[in-house]
Amino acid sequence: MTNAKIYDIKPAIASNAHITQPIYQNMYQRSIAEPDVFWAEQATLFLNWQKPWHTVMDCDYSRGHIRWFEGGLLNVSENCLDRHLAERSDQVAIIWEGDDPTRDKKITYRELHQQVCQFANVLKAQGVSKGDCVCIYLPMIAEAAVVMLACTRIGSVHSIVFGGFSAEALKDRILDSNCQYVVCADIGYRGGKTTVIKANVDQAALGCPNLKSVIVIKNSDTDVAWFNGRDIWYHVAMQNASDHCPAVAMAAEDPLFILYTSGSTGKPKGVLHSTGGYLLYAAMTHKYVFDYHDGDIYWCTADIGWITGHSYMIYGPLCNGATTVLFEGVPTYPEADRFWRIIDKHQINIFYTAPTAIRALMAQGNDFVTRTNRSSLRILGSVGEPINPEAWEWYYHVVGDARCPVVDTWWQTETGGIMITPLPGAMALKPGSASLPFFGVKPEILDNQGNSLQGIAEGVLALSRSWPGQARSIYGDHQRFIDTYFKSYAGYYFTGDGVRRDEDGYYWITGRVDDVINVSGHRMGTAEIESALVLHTHVAEAAVVGYPHDIKGQGIYAFVTLNAGVQASEQLSKELVNLVRQEIGAIASPDIIQWTPALPKTRSGKIMRRILRKVAANELNGLGDTSTLADPSVVDNIIAHRVNK
Ligand code: 6R9
């Protein structure tokens, strides 16, 4: 886009920034030319090592073999807590802001350290040891941070399951990662409503014979079903736990956590991250991308159930000794000014949220924003999906009063941390562009044949270099890791995103090129939703695609074929939505269900999703070549009955 608007670097930001334009150019060039030297320096700068590494990097994409800092020993909780105690034990580590605006609390580094040690001892007493997997299924309460860090202290591997996932989805994830331990709460609060947590665990547990114990955080006065011998109250166990717990020395490549994410096929994948490289990359990107300075109050609105919550609410900020905010609620409760009120209340300097929230708040009108002050803000961030220029401009002008750079950060669960992004003191901004690569990142634009295109170009986004935060495997299925990311284009990590590079070398992410859709920043595989729909006895076949949605970015459009003799009805439509909620969770509910006597298929029986995507997007003139369809009249029928919403 030649005419894209440009916002120049702000002198007030650049004058105090860690990374200015010449520093970026110099460091970027070095990070590509001498990666071993560059990353060794950064690893020394950002982390405390109990023992230094002998090899900085050992990677071979053809085997999905990715190793960083081998030989090195360190502990994540020690880096996030112990080493800060000398200088900042009384500094607030976590500001927790409740769903109810009258509830909040502050936890200092000393207190957090103490609670983490105690809970690490609770885990040990339950039999959890190094390498064991602990499933965390929690709402956004402060204890979530305690539990995560306690796992890292004793070398157990956490697998956080988003609190909005259903019992069924939870069960699948517990089984896939062989978790014998679950940490949950009784209930959660969101937007003035309660959400069931423990009841979902109880239901999931029916299908998890290996589950040994469930540790329950008391978050309400609600009574919950109790299974003696399996269930343990967190507060009771904590009372008797010692606050002395040595941090276990972990190898840099020991697993740190598993996080499930959706792909284009099959069941969700347990993306596996390891200790040293991940922590370095999270901390370094947190400092440079948000230009974090000592004393800043930093708020990332993501849920801990997603990678953004892992890297930029917990690990990156705490590793840098920051004060990080954990918000339990939603942007519109009690009113649509909640974010801005929280910013004023806690004097937040750096704010990181998702385009879907920005668009939803933009739709509520400017008054909710302008009646607040927001003068503490210095940097604004965006993540999760492409941000449309209109939302970007609103964020920049109305929320940030044209004072704060907006960093549009492109990355993925698999990348561990931010990959393509502006650095606030070093780059001019173009609304809608994720700008330029972070240190050590080498984006490549490939055509269908896998040729790397130079200059102004459009194609699929791949990365030719490894970086420390890169995922190491898919838990329990390394072959799937290789097949998913390293097979399509030999020698590259394939991202699944499309991208364009403009005349200034800026990158514009154009969205997924596979069957993954992005609904309100939540990544979902259309195949998972289809599998849920076809569980219904009346459904013969289903095909799900994304379509443009003003607030959510993409909505979910389901084409459903019923079994012969079954009548479509409003009731059946409700049953299908409920089925998806039960199998996956509310976030996967179809926005539109269109009944169709048949799906468009090739003669070999493959559903032509390209056509369904066009119909759902109402792009009826650009259906492309339909000559390979077995029965072209199917398309006419689908167009004639297209649902507009
Ligand atoms: C961090 C996170 C990853 C997918 C990714 C892409 C989309 C994320 C984006 C963006 C355009 C941005 N995405 N950030 N697209 N601009 N700034 O969201 O991880 O949940 O794994 O999703 O999200 O499509 O491939 P994850």
Dump the DSSP string for 594-637. Answer: EE-S---BBTTS-B-HHHHHHHHTT-GGG----TTBS-THHHHH
413 marked as part of a ligand binding site = yes
What is the structure's pLDDT at 1?
Answer: 47
> Token pair for residue 172?
């699948």
586 vs 33, 64, 239, 571, 593, CA distance in Å?
47, 34, 36, 18, 15
Quick check: 197 and 187 in contact, CB under 8 A?
Answer: yes
Q: For residue 409, how far is its CA from the centre of ligand 1 (angstroms)?
A: 8
Looking at ligand 1, which residue's alpha carbon is closest to its atom 11? 386
The C-alpha atoms of residue 152 and residue 76 are separated, in whole angstroms, by 6
271 marked as part of a ligand binding site = no
The C-alpha atoms of residue 227 and residue 42 are separated, in whole angstroms, by 48
Q: For residue 420, how far is its CA from the centre of ligand 1 (angstroms)?
A: 11
Quick check: 356 and 327 in contact, CB under 8 A?
Answer: no
Provide the 3-class DSSP secondary structure of residue 259: strand
What is the structure's pLDDT at 203?
Answer: 98
336-360 in b/e form (b: 16+ CB < 10 A) is: bbbbbbbbeebebbbbbbbbbbbbb
Q: Which residues line ligand 1 (CB under 6 A)?
A: 261, 306-308, 383-386, 408-413, 434, 495-497, 509, 512, 518, 523
410 marked as part of a ligand binding site = yes
User: Model confidence over 207-242: pLDDT tens digits?
Assistant: 999 999 999 999 999 999 999 999 999 999 999 999
The C-alpha atoms of residue 324 and residue 179 are separated, in whole angstroms, by 29
Provide the 3-class DSSP secondary structure of residue 131: coil
User: Model confidence over 316-351: pLDDT tens digits?
Assistant: 999 999 999 999 999 999 999 999 999 999 999 999
Residue 228's contacts (CB-CB under 8 Å, 6 or more residues apart) are none
The C-alpha atoms of residue 253 and residue 472 are separated, in whole angstroms, by 9
Atom of ligand 1 nearest to the CA of 496: 25
Strands 592-595 and 553-562: parallel
Phi and psi torsions of 202, nearest 5°: -55, -45
User: Nearest-CA neighbor of 427 among 2, 16, 23?
Assistant: 23
Going by the DSSP 8-state scheme, the letter that residue 566 receives in this structure is: P
385 marked as part of a ligand binding site = yes
Helix boundaries (H) for 10-166: 11-14, 21-33, 35-46, 76-80, 85-88, 109-125, 143-154
ipTM higher than 0.95? yes
The C-alpha atoms of residue 505 and residue 456 are separated, in whole angstroms, by 7
114-129 in b/e form (b: 16+ CB < 10 A) is: bbbbbbbbbbbebebe
96 marked as part of a ligand binding site = no
Q: In degrees to the nearest 10, what's the CA dihedral of 128, 133, 134, 138?
A: 170
Report the residue among 311, 410, 461 best suited for mutation to probe ligand 1: largest number of ligand atoms under 8 A from its CB.
410
126 marked as part of a ligand binding site = no
The C-alpha atoms of residue 268 and residue 547 are separated, in whole angstroms, by 22
Domains of the chain by residue range: 520-641
Q: For residue 583, how far is its CA from the centre of ligand 1 (angstroms)?
A: 24
What is the structure's pLDDT at 3?
Answer: 61
Q: For residue 223, how far is its CA from the centre of ligand 1 (angstroms)?
A: 39
Strands 157-160 and 255-261: parallel
Selected from 3.10.20.30, 3.30.430.20, 3.30.300.30, 3.30.470.20, the CATH number assigned to the domain covering 520-641 reads: 3.30.300.30
Looking at ligand 1, which residue's alpha carbon is closest to its atom 2? 412
Atom of ligand 1 nearest to the CA of 261: 21
The C-alpha atoms of residue 568 and residue 255 are separated, in whole angstroms, by 49
The pTM (predicted TM-score) of the whole model is 0.95
Q: For residue 175, how far is its CA from the centre of ligand 1 (angstroms)?
A: 27
192 marked as part of a ligand binding site = yes
> Token pair for residue 543?
């095909």
Dump the DSSP string for 440-497. Answer: T--EEEE-TT-PEE-SSEEEEEEE-S--TT---EETT-HHHHHHHHTSSSTTSEEEEE
The count of other CB atoms within 10 Å of the CB of residue 510 is 15
Q: Which residues of the chain have pLDDT under 50?
A: 1-2
Work out the angle between the directed axes of helices 167-176 and 198-205 (0-180°, nearest 10).
60
The C-alpha atoms of residue 491 and residue 38 are separated, in whole angstroms, by 22
Report the residue among 383, 430, 474 best suited for mutation to probe ligand 1: largest number of ligand atoms under 8 A from its CB.
383
DSSP 3-state helix, strand, coil percentages of the chain (rounded to 5)? 35, 25, 40
Report the residue among 286, 411, 512 best suited for mutation to probe ligand 1: largest number of ligand atoms under 8 A from its CB.
411
Quick check: 32 and 440 in contact, CB under 8 A?
Answer: yes
365 marked as part of a ligand binding site = no
> Token pair for residue 133?
């997997």
Provide the 3-class DSSP secondary structure of residue 324: strand
> Token pair for residue 577?
């939505």
Looking at ligand 1, which residue's alpha carbon is closest to its atom 12? 410
Provide the 3-class DSSP secondary structure of residue 360: helix
What is the structure's pLDDT at 623?
Answer: 82
What is the structure's pLDDT at 632?
Answer: 84
Atom of ligand 1 nearest to the CA of 382: 17
The C-alpha atoms of residue 488 and residue 313 are separated, in whole angstroms, by 33
Provide the 3-class DSSP secondary structure of residue 141: coil
Phi and psi torsions of 18, nearest 5°: -65, -40
Q: In degrees to the nearest 10, what's the CA dihedral of 45, 50, 53, 56?
A: -30
Q: For residue 384, how far is its CA from the centre of ligand 1 (angstroms)?
A: 4
What is the structure's pLDDT at 397?
Answer: 98
Report the residue among 271, 523, 554, 587 best suited for mutation to probe ligand 1: largest number of ligand atoms under 8 A from its CB.
523
What is the structure's pLDDT at 598?
Answer: 93
Looking at ligand 1, which residue's alpha carbon is closest to its atom 3? 412
The C-alpha atoms of residue 15 and residue 7 are separated, in whole angstroms, by 17
